[in-house]
């Protein structure tokens, strides 16, 4: 009779283990993830359309619109013909690789505006704007390099970083740079 008792105990222990295992295996399936709530509200850090307008005697009047998310940067770049006409640049001129040249190798006006906005919960953007520009200036100068006499153009360069806050509701913010260039930035969702 002892054997049936052992068999009963073994059977009960096996059932208890199976029930415990089945309970553990089933338990995760009974706990579902919370439902996803979809709202129509746009997050404050979502993509925003930024329009940059440049008004400058030296660099001309330029405008472009880009979509930028909070925490990202984007460059607005323009290269236009010089108002003084095509100014060829010999490759041996000092700083040749850093000059803004058109497809024909002539000196061009160039301006680059980099925007780096961070949008707060209230929709206000804190913007860092970096502006770099170069433009041909006056007559070429005589330069001696490698035993040769060259006519190399003079270039006026400008670089400035400005920080400001602005709403993202479509209102515009105008910044006057040191050289008199006016940059207007507007932001709209």
Report long-range pairs for 60-64 (Cβ below 8 Å, ≥24 apart).
60/109, 62/111
Rg, C-alpha atoms of the chain: 34
Q: Tell me: the pLDDT tens digits for 19-31?
A: 444 444 444 444 4
Angle, vertex CA 156, rays to CA 155 and CA 157, nearest 5: 110
The verdict on residue 42 lying in a domain is: no
Number of domains in the chain: 2
The verdict on residue 125 lying in a domain is: yes
Q: Given this model, what pLDDT does residue 44 score?
A: 55
Same-domain pairing of 73 and 111? yes
Same-domain pairing of 97 and 24? no
Q: Given this model, what pLDDT does residue 34 score?
A: 54
**In 10 A of CB 91, how many CB atoms?**
8
Q: Given this model, what pLDDT does residue 111 score?
A: 96
In this prediction the pTM is 0.72
Q: Given this model, what pLDDT does residue 76 score?
A: 97
Same-domain pairing of 88 and 4? no
Range of the domain at 10: 1-30
Q: Given this model, what pLDDT does residue 104 score?
A: 86
Contact between 155 and 174 under an 8 Å Cβ cutoff? The reply is: no
| Rounded CA separation 106/86 (Å) | 6
The verdict on residue 35 lying in a domain is: no
Same-domain pairing of 160 and 127? yes
Same-domain pairing of 75 and 115? yes
Same-domain pairing of 61 and 102? yes
Q: Given this model, what pLDDT does residue 19 score?
A: 46
The verdict on residue 26 lying in a domain is: yes
Structure tokens at 25: 């295996």
Same-domain pairing of 95 and 169? yes
Same-domain pairing of 26 and 102? no
User: Which residues of the chain register pLDDT less than 50?
Assistant: 1-3, 5-6, 8, 11-12, 15-33, 38-42
The verdict on residue 141 lying in a domain is: yes
| Rounded CA separation 171/175 (Å) | 13
Same-domain pairing of 52 and 3? no
Same-domain pairing of 22 and 53? no
């Amino acid at each position: 009779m002892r054997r049936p008792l052992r068999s009963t105990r073994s059977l009960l222990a096996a059932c208890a283990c199976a029930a415990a295992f089945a309970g553990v295996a089933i338990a995760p399936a009974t706990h579902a993830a919370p439902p996803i709530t979809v709202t129509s509200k746009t997050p404050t850090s979502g993509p925003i359309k930024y329009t940059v307008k440049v008004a400058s005697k030296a660099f001309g009047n330029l405008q472009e619109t880009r979509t930028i998310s909070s925490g990202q940067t984007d460059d607005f770049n323009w290269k236009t013909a010089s108002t003084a006409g095509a100014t060829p640049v010999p490759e041996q001129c000092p700083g040749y690789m850093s000059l803004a040249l058109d497809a024909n190798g002539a000196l061009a006006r160039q301006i680059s505006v980099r925007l780096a906005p961070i949008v707060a919960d209230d929709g206000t953007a804190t913007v860092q704007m970096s502006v770099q520009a170069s433009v041909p200036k006056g007559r070429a100068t005589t330069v001696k390099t490698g035993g040769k006499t060259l006519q190399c153009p003079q270039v006026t360069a400008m670089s400035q970083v400005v920080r400001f806050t602005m709403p993202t509701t479509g209102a515009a913010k105008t910044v006057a740079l040191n050289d008199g260039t006016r940059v207007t930035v507007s932001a709209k969702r």
